């Protein structure tokens, strides 16, 4: 269980009512990791959903054809990760590792599947929250790509 006030400030969870955020806070477990710990391993199914509460994590992905090179980004506090693997049931497409000591709120894969598979409207609302989070992440990636494209164009000139 985590303090519901933490969830009140999470943008993706604004689609949940106050009562639903309270119920969700009772299902989440706070977990702490040390710098260097891997929370999600690329190529393995994510054990659940994680909401970054504090600290810094790095998301890295191997670039196909180059074992040493990795694309990397960070996740801001207040954002979920591990969602894609939990949603599609496939292995994670990236690794997530703690850069500093990290605190996360975790929802196991099993609890997530029970929640969205139930007849409880909260399941549909929480799934909508996860989709909102994915949309926010996509907006951030698009902005980064636009910036990168501008930088490449400047170098070419």
Q: In CATH terms, is domain 4-156 a member of 2.60.120.10? A: yes
Q: Report pTM.
A: 0.86
pLDDT digits (tens, 9 = 90+) for 66-123: 666 566 777 899 999 999 899 899 999 889 999 999 999 999 999 999 999 888 999 9
Under DSSP, is residue 154 helix (H, G, I), strand (E, B) or coil? helix
- Residue 65: per-residue pLDDT: 72
What span, in angstroms and rounded, lies between the C-alpha atoms of 114 and 112? 5
Please list the alpha-helical segments (H only) found in the chain. Answer: 4-8, 18-27, 83-88, 109-117, 121-156
- Residue 143: per-residue pLDDT: 86
**In sequence order, which residues have a C-beta less than 8 Å from that of residue 4 and are 6 or more positions away?**
21, 22, 25
* End-to-end Cα separation, the chain, in angstroms: 55
């Amino acid at each position: 269980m985590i303090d519901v006030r933490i969830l009140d400030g999470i943008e993706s969870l604004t689609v949940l009512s106050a009562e639903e955020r309270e119920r969700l806070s009772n299902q989440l477990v706070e977990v702490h990791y040390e710098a260097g710990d891997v929370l999600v391993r690329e190529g393995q199914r994510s054990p659940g959903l994680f909401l970054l509460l504090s600290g810094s994590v790095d998301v890295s992905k191997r670039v196909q054809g180059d074992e040493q090179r990795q694309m990397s980004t960070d996740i801001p506090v207040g954002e979920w990760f591990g969602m894609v693997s939990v949603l599609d049931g496939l292995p994670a497409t990236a690794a997530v590792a703690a850069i500093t000591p990290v605190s996360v709120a975790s929802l196991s894969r099993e609890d997530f599947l029970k929640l969205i598979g139930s007849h409880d409207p909260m399941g549909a609302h929480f799934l909508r929250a996860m989709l909102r989070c994915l949309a926010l992440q996509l907006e951030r990636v698009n902005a980064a790509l636009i910036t990168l494209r501008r930088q490449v164009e400047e170098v070419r000139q």
